[in-house]
Amino acid sequence: MFAAAFENQFAADVHCGLTRMDQKTLPCRYFYDDLGSALFEAITTLPEYGLTRADARVLQAHAGELMDLLPGELIVAELGSGTGIKTRPILEQLGKRQTAIYYPIDVSGSALAKCALELGGRASVFPLEMNYLEGLRTVSERRATGQTLLTLFLGSTIGNFEPDSASDFLYAVRQSICSGDALLLGTDMVKPVEHLIAAYDDPTGVNAAFNLNLLGRINRELHGNFDLRRFEHLIRYAPDAQRIEMHLRSRVDQTVRVKKARLVVDFAMGETIWTESCHKFHPEQICEMARTAGFHLEAQWVDQEWPFAESLLVAV
C-alpha cells in the first residue's frame, strides 16, 4: 500500500529513510545502478580493499576440495552474483565431472549480462533478475530429481544485514532448499580497525564516490536536487557490533527536495544519512549462525593475508 503511493519502491524507501526522526537512512541496495556497479568494481581493485581478492584466493585454492565434499550431480545458484568473476574456479572444477549448470541471481541486469558473457563458455548459464529468495525458490523448483543444489553467497554481502536479519535471512534460505543441499557463505572477518577504515575510506576517494553516487542516483531517477558537494563521506567503526558504518554527512544546514518521493527534507550541519553497515565476523559466530538456521558447518577456509572465510554449510 505504502509503495503504491509512490511511483516506485525506490521513491518509497527514500521517503521512509529520510523522514526518520532519529537517524536518517538510505538502503545500501540502491548503490548498484550502472555507475555504482562500476565504482564498486573499482573499489575491488583498491590496494586498501583486500576483501574481494581474499575471497577469490580462497575460492581458487579450495574449489577442488569443495567439489570433493559435494559428490553427485550439482546445480549451482549464486545470490548477488554481480559479474560472477569469482565463481569461475568453482564452475571449472564442476565442469571436470559434469556440465556445470549455473543460475546467477542479481537485481542488476547489466551485471547479469556481463556474468553470462564471462561464464557462458564454462557453464550453462541461466540468469535470474530477481531478489535473492525469489530467485532461489525458482532454482529449487527447477532442479531435476537427484540433483543437489549448491547456493553461493560470496563477498561478505551477508555483512550488510543487521545480526537478527542475517539469521532470519539464513533461515529463509534454509527453508527454500532441501536437506543435503549446501550453502557456501563468504564472510569478512574481524581485523585491525585501521585496515578496515582504510578499506572503506580509501585515499583515492573511490568509496566516497560510491557512497555519494547514491545521492546522484536520487537526483537522476527521483528528481532530487542534492548538491553532492554539500555532503561528505564518513566512516565509523562500532567495535561492540563489529561493524563498519558508512554515512553521508551534511557540511551545512540545508534543505533538499526529492520530487518523486514528494519530499522536502532539512539537514542540519553535521547531521548524517546512514547508508551502509558492513559487519565483520569471528569464526565461531558463523558456526552459531549456521546451527540456528538449520545448517551444519561442513568445512571452513580462511585467507591468511586478509582474514576472510568461506564456510560450507550443509542443510540438516
Compare residues 169 and 200 and give the one whose CB is closer to ligand AVJ: 200
Residue 162 beta carbon to ligand AVJ: minimum distance, rounded to whole angstroms: 13
Interface residue with ligand AVJ among 157, 213, 242, 250 (CB under 6 A) is: 157
Q: If DSSP codes are grouped into helix, strand and coil, which group holds residue 248? A: strand
**Binds ligand AVJ by CB under 6 A, chosen from 43, 136, 222, 312:** 43
User: What SS3 class is residue 225?
Assistant: coil
Q: How many residues bind ligand AVJ, per CB under 6 A?
A: 12
Task: Decide: is 51 part of the binding site for ligand AVJ (CB under 6 A).
Answer: yes
Report residue 296 as a C-alpha cell: 551444519
Q: Which of 71, 78, 127, 126 is nearest to 94 (CA)?
A: 71
| Interacting residues of 185 by C-beta distance below 8 A, sequence separation 6+ | 153, 158, 170, 286, 290, 310, 311, 313
In whole angstroms, give the CA distance from residue 284 to residue 243: 17
Q: Residue 286, interface with ligand AVJ (CB under 6 A)? A: no
In the complex, what is the shortest distance from the CB of residue 124 to ligand AVJ, in angstroms, rounded to a whole number? 27
DSSP 146-167: TPEEEEEE-TTGGGGS-HHHHH
Please, what is the minimum distance in Å from the beta carbon of residue 51 to ligand AVJ?
5
Minimum gap (Å) between residue 74 Cβ and ligand AVJ: 25
- Beta pairing, strands 254-258 & 263-267: antiparallel
Residue 254 in the binding site for ligand AVJ (CB under 6 A): no
Give the integer Cα–Cα distance in Å for 259 and 263.
6
- Binding string, residues 196-225; x marks residues near ligand AVJ by CB under 6 A: ----x------x--x---------------
In the complex, what is the shortest distance from the CB of residue 208 to ligand AVJ, in angstroms, rounded to a whole number? Answer: 10
CA 47, 312, 187, 172 torsion: positive or negative? positive
Nearer to ligand AVJ, 52 or 148 (CB): 52
Q: Let me know the angle formed at the C-alpha of 98 by 92 and 100, rounded to the nearest 5 degrees.
A: 55
Q: In the bound complex, what is the minimum distance in angstroms from residue 111's beta carbon to ligand AVJ?
A: 12
Q: Which of 119, 177, 215, 278 binds ligand AVJ (CB under 6 A)?
A: 278
Q: Which residue's CB is nearer to ligand AVJ, number 148 or number 186? A: 186
Determine whether 171 is exposed, middle or buried from the number of CB atoms within 10 Å of its CB (0-12, 13-18, 19+): middle
CB 177 within 8 A of CB 316: no
Q: Does 155 bind ligand AVJ (CB under 6 A)?
A: yes
Rounded least distance, CB 115 to ligand AVJ, Å: 15
Please say which residue, 160 or 285, places its beta carbon nearer to ligand AVJ. Answer: 160
Helix axis angle for 34-43 and 206-222, nearest 10°, is: 170
Judged by CB under 6 A, the chain residues 54 through 73 that form the site for ligand AVJ are none
- 223, 260 in Cβ contact below 8 A? yes
Task: Tell me the per-residue interface mask from 114 to 153 with ligand AVJ, x by CB under 6 A, - otherwise.
Answer: ----------------------------------------
Is residue 156 close enough to count as binding ligand AVJ by CB under 6 A? yes
Instruction: With beta carbons less than 8 A apart as the criterion, state whether 264 and 248 touch.
Output: no
Q: How far is the CB of 210 from ligand AVJ (least distance, A)?
A: 6
Sign (positive or negative) of CA dihedral 166, 171, 173, 174:
positive
Verify binding: residue 84, ligand AVJ, rule CB under 6 A.
no
By CB under 6 A, residue 160 contacts ligand AVJ: yes
Interface residue list for ligand AVJ (CB under 6 A): 43, 51, 155-157, 159-160, 200, 207, 210, 276, 278
